[in-house]
Structure 1
Amino acid sequence: MVLALVIGAGTALVVFQTRHEQDDATRARVIDVAVTLAHAPSTLGAVRAPDPSAALQPVTEGIRRATGMDFIVVMAPDRTRYTHTDPERIGKPFSGNIDRAVAGETFTETYTGSLGPSIRAVTPVRDRDDRVVALVSAGVTRARIGDRVEEQLPAILGIAAGGLLLATLGSLLLRRRLLRQTHGLAPAELRALYEHHEAVLHSVHEGLLVFDATGEHIEVSNDEARRLLGLAGGEVRRTDLPESLQRLGSDAVRDEMHVTADHVLVVNQDVVERDGRRIGTVVTLRDHTELRDVMGELDSVRGFADALRAQAHEAANRLHTVITMVELGHTRQAVDFATAELELTQSLIDRMTGAVAEPAVIALLLGKVEQAAELGVELTVSGDTALDSTEPLTPNEMVTLLGNLIDNALDAVGRDDDAWVEVAVRNDPDGLFVRVADSGPGMSEEVFTRATTRGYSTKTDHHGLGLALVRRLVNRHGGELRAVRTPESAVVVRFQPC
């Protein structure tokens, strides 16, 4: 409707402009004809002849027909006509304004004369002494001008109709495209959908990222996602995400653990398709940081329980052995056997108690020694271990750090007959130092970097979060984490003194 109104108004304006241009062109033509005839020497000679009409009438009529004028009148300064289209009007006075022409001026006017409304020009005829001896008027009726405009109307209306047709087709195509892009939703439905979208987007407590079809540009990201990933406001691309999330790929992902600088996230990814065409990718993020910390503590408690269970089992076996030896009469050998076992266990406990001030760390190390023994791995605590404080770490963080490093080392050594792990923890002038060495093959710098970025593991049945959690903890306190081979493989952590 808007286009129809615009085209209609434009057409009316074109018709009006055409009429105006025709009037201007007619004024120019009537002036040219009148002035040309007035300047002709034959006109001056005919005016001075005894019968001007006989000399001028055939000439003016020939010129009128040739130039398309409706009338050409030659008159005396007193308005007496010498010529006229209607011969009966010759000799009668001219109707119209001539004062300006008598004064020597050429002018045009719109006037209703004997032939009806017309655009006419009036100009003087001068003799050699520059006196006005006659006047010439040439004109075209408005009816003829209207006919000329009407001759152009079919072309104007044809162009307008073509424009209206193109506008209609364009509107239909635009409507079809809009309906396809909006899936046939009306404006009110689109508004409601947008309002619901905004309400849901900012109310859900999970992080949400929606990628475009290329998978590189993030079209939607809610507040929780920006908080969890530390994203600033404005446009976000995949390259702005943490390194592990940049490598998600384009396939579906289910409950994959990722570790960022501040959070442990459970990540799910789904590909969205419509009519067999990929239109985007949706990634959801759940914060499991506190849950992971609690699970880490639970794993430590489970480790202690397993160690105590193993010790109880071993103690029962030893007790049965001692009782049997006594029943068999080998009393001396029974005392020696029991005393040796007690001395070995007590010696390790005494050394740990003397070197480490934190009970949680002592319990962890003793539990890991028993766990390693069950796995057939020799786990030893180096003689230079001396820990009077866990600062800058809390005791729980120290347990997380040591537990994950030792578990990683136990996984690395496998089930070799001569497998071993050595732990060193100490406070020195350079700060807190932790070193866990093992007999495993070690990791290259590239593999170690991948293992500390997120849930990467060389074990197919392992989530691989241990080193990633260690990296997160080290980064939180501004420490240093590196893998060395001097000559055995080891992971070294150092924190600057507080």
Structure 2
Amino acid sequence: MRRPGWTIPGRWSLARQLLVLQAAIVGLLVAAGATIAYLDAGRSADDAATQTVTAVARSIADADNVRTAVASPDPSRLLQPYAERVRRDTGVAFITIMSPAGIRYTHPNPSRIGGRFVGNTGPALAGLTFTETYTGTLGPSVRTVTPVYDGGQIVALVAVGITIRVISAELRERLLFLAGIAAAVLAVGMAGSYLVAARLRRQTRGVAPAELREMFEYYQAILHAVREGLLLLDRSGRVVLCNDAARDLLDLGPPQPAAGRSSSRVALASPLPSADLRGRLVTDLGLPDELVATLVSPEPRSDEIHVADTRVLVVNTSPVRSRDRAMGNVVTLRDHTELQGLTGELDTVRGFAESLRSQAHEAANRLHTVVSLVELGRPDQAVEFATAELKTAQRLTDRVVGSVTEPVLAALLLGKSAEAGERGVDLLITEDTVIEGVAGPRDLVTILGNLIDNAVDAALAGADVRPPRVVVRARKDDGALVLEVSDSGPGVDPAAVPEMFRRGWTTKTSGGPVGHGLGLALVGQAVRRHGGDVHVGHDAGAVFTVRLPLDPP
């Protein structure tokens, strides 16, 4: 978020801070470079001056006419014009030719001829050529003094110098050039810094670093705190982000022991031992194909239900686009298991209420029949009719209540029996049915309710047996509760058994994948959650056999 009018550097936007920092760095680099160039230019000017005066001094000292003039009665008459001509040609400040005692033969100021040389001559008298910076009659200068030999004897000395003022003038000319280069480099650096800062400002939308840090900290806290799973995928289907809730909902955490699980168990995903999913293809996570297709779908998906190994997931996807370019998908996952269980219980209650309604309707019909028989003067037939109907209903109720100790399951069986009867299907509960001491009645409601519903539909689809029939049997066998639901329908194709407990498998032709194909998936999920297994066989019709350990893992 942009805050106009910021003046505190600590609250400047990241782009502005970067611009100032880059400008300071560029400025320091240019200043350091200019300083180094200045020192180098000064040293180069001194070296050039030293080389010039040394070369001129040695050239004069080696000239034959100088030795000849020194030996003449009036050396100044011959040497002064020569020295001035060389001085003008070479651009040096002065050329002084003197006797070994330091008496000048030449000088740029003729009035100083005959005077004593101002400077050091000791090293030259010892036969050395030396250079020094000394303040003489013309001011501070860089000078070279060298001896003049004639027959192996020092007959004169030559001093050639360039004043510091001349050297400084030459250095100033170089500095103007250096200043121009430094200014150009600074301008280019500032322009580049401004372009980088402008791009960064567009990318960060003018947010200050402190705000970016706070946003990142809040972002991290929210990702780990929300109970809703969040999965970000790039356009190639690779995981960009997966929060803790998504890892848990998709079973992507470290592998857990699976003792007691049946080999027929169908898993949603193989747990990954690595905690880092970033950069992995979603197709490599071991997720079901229909879920992978939803996650990478280029079209948005809303509230799609996918049955996992132990959960029912509601999946929403939203494609992300930037400048009309696909960037990937944002996927949210919600755990629908509890809601699905409550929905199943509600469906059971509704079915029970519906069965009570139908029974009330039948009871009213029977009551009218009894009253009519009494009015016709046949009380014995009226009593016999009423007693027979009562015994039939009571026999079913007594059998269910006596063999099923869990009230919710008893109500489910009574309701499904009445509902099946209303649809013209005989729902038979075998005499040896016993359901007692079983934990998790909600999952048993899911298993029995969906199996009975499917069996009733299958029985109605079978035309060979009249009336259609569904048989429910429950028993204990070797430490497990065995539930068996069979029907008189056409049966199940054995080739379809491996896929029938996954979401979307159905034999119905109406309703689409959302309306059908969920019941058996929920059955498989509940069975796996309790460490059991499901077997699909064939008798007169399909036979579903569920084994649930009485002591589930």
Name the TM-score, length of structure 1 as normaliser. Answer: 0.76
Name the stretch that deviates more: 324-333 or 117-126. 324-333
**Cα offset for 1:174?**
2.8
Q: Is the 8 A contact 2:231 2:243 kept in 1?
A: no
1:173 aligned to which of 195, 200, 206: 195
**Cα offset for 1:18?**
2.0
Match of 1:470 in 2: 523
Name the stretch that deviates more: 26-35 or 90-99. 26-35
**Cα offset for 1:403?**
1.7
2:168 aligned to which of 146, 149, 161: 146
Q: In structure 2, do the counterparts of structure 1 residues 477 and 100 end up closer, same or farther at CA, with 3 Å as the change threshold?
A: farther
In the alignment, structure 1 residue 17 sits paired with structure 2 residue 40: yes
CA distance, structure 2, for counterparts of residue 417 and residue 368 of structure 1: 21
CA distance, structure 1, for counterparts of residue 77 and residue 228 of structure 2: 105
1:425 aligned to which of 464, 467, 474: 474
The AA in structure 1 aligned to 2:423 is L
CA distance, structure 1, for counterparts of residue 66 and residue 343 of structure 2: 123
Q: Is the 8 A contact 2:233 2:330 kept in 1?
A: no
Aligned length: 490
- Summarize deviations over 1:163-202 as a string: whole Å, max 9, x none: 23223322332343233223355667x4698389559947
1:312 aligned to which of 349, 360, 374: 360
In the alignment, structure 1 residue 375 sits paired with structure 2 residue 423: yes
Q: Is the 8 A contact 1:376 1:415 kept in 2?
A: no
**Cα offset for 1:284?**
4.7
The AA in structure 2 aligned to 1:364 is L
2:103 aligned to which of 59, 80, 105: 80
SS of corresponding position for 1:451: coil
Match of 1:209 in 2: 230
Q: In structure 2, do the counterparts of structure 1 residues 497 and 292 end up closer, same or farther at CA, with 3 Å as the change threshold?
A: closer
SS of corresponding position for 1:304: helix
Match of 2:19 in 1: none
**Cα offset for 1:143?**
2.9
Q: Is the 8 A contact 1:72 1:84 kept in 2?
A: yes
**Cα offset for 1:96?**
1.9
Match of 1:300 in 2: 348
Match of 2:118 in 1: 95
**Cα offset for 1:451?**
1.4
Match of 1:122 in 2: 145
Q: Is the 8 A contact 2:319 2:326 kept in 1?
A: yes
Match of 1:407 in 2: 453
Q: Is the 8 A contact 1:27 1:120 kept in 2?
A: yes
**Cα offset for 1:21?**
2.8
SS of corresponding position for 2:104: coil
SS of corresponding position for 1:21: helix
**Cα offset for 1:207?**
2.4
SS of corresponding position for 2:141: strand
RMSD between aligned residues: 4.7
- Summarize deviations over 1:376-434 as a string: whole Å, max 9, x none: 445445677554543xx423332222223333444566745456555443322263333
**Cα offset for 1:340?**
6.3
CA distance, structure 1, for counterparts of residue 426 and residue 26 of structure 2: 91
- Summarize deviations over 1:127-155 as a string: whole Å, max 9, x none: 665x6544333333323323333333443
Q: Is the 8 A contact 1:37 1:43 kept in 2?
A: no
- Summarize deviations over 1:228-260 as a string: whole Å, max 9, x none: 667778775683696576423343343444455
SS of corresponding position for 2:119: coil
**Cα offset for 1:337?**
6.3
SS of corresponding position for 2:500: helix
Match of 1:451 in 2: 503
CA distance, structure 2, for counterparts of residue 235 and residue 164 of structure 1: 46
**Cα offset for 1:302?**
2.1
The AA in structure 1 aligned to 2:202 is R
Match of 1:398 in 2: 444
CA distance, structure 2, for counterparts of residue 436 and residue 215 of structure 1: 46
CA distance, structure 2, for counterparts of residue 139 and residue 487 of structure 1: 127
Percent identical: 43
Q: Is the 8 A contact 2:230 2:243 kept in 1?
A: yes
Q: Is the 8 A contact 2:57 2:144 kept in 1?
A: yes
Match of 2:132 in 1: 109
**Cα offset for 1:67?**
4.8
Q: Is the 8 A contact 2:533 2:546 kept in 1?
A: yes
CA distance, structure 2, for counterparts of residue 226 and residue 377 of structure 1: 45
Q: Is the 8 A contact 1:208 1:282 kept in 2?
A: no
Match of 2:413 in 1: 365
Q: In structure 2, do the counterparts of structure 1 residues 255 and 155 end up closer, same or farther at CA, with 3 Å as the change threshold?
A: same
The AA in structure 1 aligned to 2:180 is G
CA distance, structure 1, for counterparts of residue 428 and residue 155 of structure 2: 139
Name the stretch that deviates more: 198-207 or 292-301. 198-207
Q: Where does structure 2 lack aligned partners over 5 or more consecutive residues?
A: 1-22, 254-274
